[in-house]
């Protein structure tokens, strides 16, 4: 049989990140199976409506249904994407259950490559307790401050244990910063007026196209096992220097290394080093 392109199931395909990820994967030759409980405005590849809190539906979706062939890999983005959108118990029930179902169904049908959306929140957002040092990175224990974030930490732990059970499995968790599309950049210059306005995530962001790049690189990353990476853009949302922001808002917090003028305070050094991630977009090119 001729080689078929790799089929990647993308959950949350209708979402902010999902639409960028599905477009990027399709542009790079992947066969995309878009999964969501909502139909995307523009369907990439094939679409199958799935409620991820129904394990049977997830198994069938990944194993193949009628004209949908089985998936070779999974990108799991679906979630209630922030604290405070729904009640905490609803967020927990939807997000934790969906992730368990996706991870377990993937294993059940023999999928070994799973890339999934963790979150910058596990680094201690909104930083009412100052960060241990900046730029923050993957080296300190998670500090979830909300139920939403707590679920991301539980998912990171679940990934570690599942990979311990099954050393052939790869589960890459991407701790995305605040996802932005080009149309969001018009509001950025207004952030400068108040340094406290975006202090909650250390003035970080990630362009959806760069987030998609990180997903693709994580899919192609050959290592096995569980790992996590902070994924942000190379710069902050501010015109002021990163050093002056830290000095004013987090006096006394250790600054590690030499900070570039607008350098991100959410370190992407590990993603650069291990995945070859390099953000290609900046809000500064659009405003
Ligand atoms: N947007 C951000 O700034 C941000 C930052 C860090 C991490 N994340 C994470 O990235 C991922 C994607 O976020 P987003 O901004 O694209 O969110 P989004 O709300 O735009 O998209 C999420 C999608 O998941 C779907 N979904 C949710 N629960 C589902 C279920 N039970 N069954 C089927 N589909 C379901 C929704 O219908 C929606 O289309 C999430 O895991 C989120 O936690 C987002």
| Centroid of ligand 1 to alpha carbon of 259 (angstroms) | 32
- Is it the case that residue 286 has pLDDT exceeding 70? yes
**Residue to substitute in 21, 35, 42, 77 for testing ligand 1 pocket (most ligand atoms within 8 angstroms of CB):** 77
Angle subtended by helix axes 88-108 and 55-63, to nearest 10: 40
| Centroid of ligand 1 to alpha carbon of 242 (angstroms) | 29
Residue 140 C-alpha from the chain's centroid: 19
**Residue to substitute in 179, 198, 203, 218 for testing ligand 1 pocket (most ligand atoms within 8 angstroms of CB):** 179
**Residue to substitute in 10, 18, 79 for testing ligand 1 pocket (most ligand atoms within 8 angstroms of CB):** 79
Task: Report how far apart, in Å, the C-alpha atoms of 50 and of each of 36, 86, 101, 112, 180 are.
Answer: 5, 20, 12, 21, 26
Q: Is there a contact between 112 and 168 (Cβ–Cβ < 8 Å)?
A: yes
Per residue in 153-173, pLDDT tens? 999 999 999 999 999 999 999
User: Residue 284 and residue 247: Cα distance in Å, rounded?
Assistant: 23
Strands of 64-119 (E only): list them: 73-76, 113-119
At 1 the pLDDT is 45
Which domains are seen in the chain, by residue range?
7-285 (3.40.50.720)
Which residues are 175's β-sheet partners?
A: 118, 230
Per residue in 252-262, pLDDT tens? 999 999 999 99
Region 221-235 average pLDDT: 98
- Is it the case that residue 2 has pLDDT exceeding 60? no
| Centroid of ligand 1 to alpha carbon of 254 (angstroms) | 33
- Peptide linkage before 126 cis (omega within 30 of 0): yes
* H or E element at residue 13: none
Q: Is there a contact between 199 and 127 (Cβ–Cβ < 8 Å)?
A: yes
Contacts of 87 (CB under 8 A, 6+ apart): none
User: Residue 28 and residue 18: Cα distance in Å, rounded?
Assistant: 15
Residues having CB within 6 Å of any atom of ligand 1: 12, 14-18, 36-38, 50-53, 77-79, 81, 94, 98, 117, 119-120, 176, 178-179
pLDDT class of 5 with cuts at 50, 70, 90: confident
Residues of 9-27 as b/e, b for ≥16 C-beta within 10 angstroms? bbbbbbbbbbbbbbbbbbe
């Amino acid at each position: 049989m001729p080689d078929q392109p790799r089929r990647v199931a993308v959950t949350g395909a209708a979402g902010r990140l999902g639409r960028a990820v599905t477009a990027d994967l399709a542009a790079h030759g992947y066969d995309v199976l878009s999964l969501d409980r909502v139909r995307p405005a523009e369907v990439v590849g094939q679409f199958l409506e799935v409620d991820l809190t129904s394990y049977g539906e997830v198994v069938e979706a990944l194993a193949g249904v009628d004209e949908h062939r089985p998936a070779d890999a999974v990108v799991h983005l679906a979630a209630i994407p922030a604290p405070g959108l729904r009640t905490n118990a609803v967020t927990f029930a939807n997000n934790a259950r969906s992730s368990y179902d996706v991870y377990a169904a993937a294993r059940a049908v023999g999928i070994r490559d799973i890339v999934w959306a963790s979150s910058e929140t596990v680094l201690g957002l909104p930083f009412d307790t100052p960060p241990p040092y900046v730029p923050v990175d993957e080296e300190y224990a998670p500090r979830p401050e909300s139920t939403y974030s707590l679920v991301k930490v539980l998912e990171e732990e679940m990934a570690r244990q599942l990979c311990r059970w099954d050393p052939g499995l790869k589960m890459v968790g991407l701790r995305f910063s605040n996802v932005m599309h080009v149309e969001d950049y018009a509001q950025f210059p207004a952030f400068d007026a108040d340094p406290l306005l975006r202090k909650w995530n250390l003035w970080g962001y990630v362009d959806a196209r760069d987030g998609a790049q990180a997903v693709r690189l994580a899919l192609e990353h050959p290592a096995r096992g569980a790992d996590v990476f902070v994924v942000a853009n190379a710069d902050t949302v501010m015109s002021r220097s990163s050093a002056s922001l830290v000095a004013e808002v987090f006096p006394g917090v250790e600054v590690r290394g030499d900070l570039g003028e607008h350098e991100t305070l959410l370190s992407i050094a590990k993603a650069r080093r291990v995945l070859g991630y390099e953000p290609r977009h900046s809000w500064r090119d659009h405003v």
